[in-house]
Amino acid sequence: MTAEPVPELERLTRKFRPPLIAFFSRRVGSLAEAEDMTQEVFLRLANSHRDSEELSAAYIFRIAANLVTDRARRDGTRRNFAGMVKQDAGAGIDSLDPFRIVSARESIAVLWAAIQALPEPTQQIFILYRVENIPKQTIADNFGFHIRTIDKHILRALVFLARRMEQRT
User: In this predicted model, what pLDDT tens digit does every residue of 2-38 receive, in sequence order?
Assistant: 455 558 888 888 888 999 999 999 988 889 999 999 9
pTM of the model: 0.46
Domain at 8-90: CATH code: 1.10.1740
Q: Which architecture, in CATH terms, is 98-168?
A: Orthogonal Bundle (1.10)
Domain boundaries, the chain: 8-90, 98-168
- DSSP calls for 128-165: IIIIS---HHHHHHHHT--HHHHHHHHHHHHHHHHHHH
Q: Is the pLDDT of residue 148 over 90?
A: yes
What's at 71, amino acid-wise?
R
The highest-confidence range among 43-57, 81-95, 153-167, by mean pLDDT, is: 153-167
* Local confidence band at 157 (pLDDT 50, 70, 90 cut-offs): very high
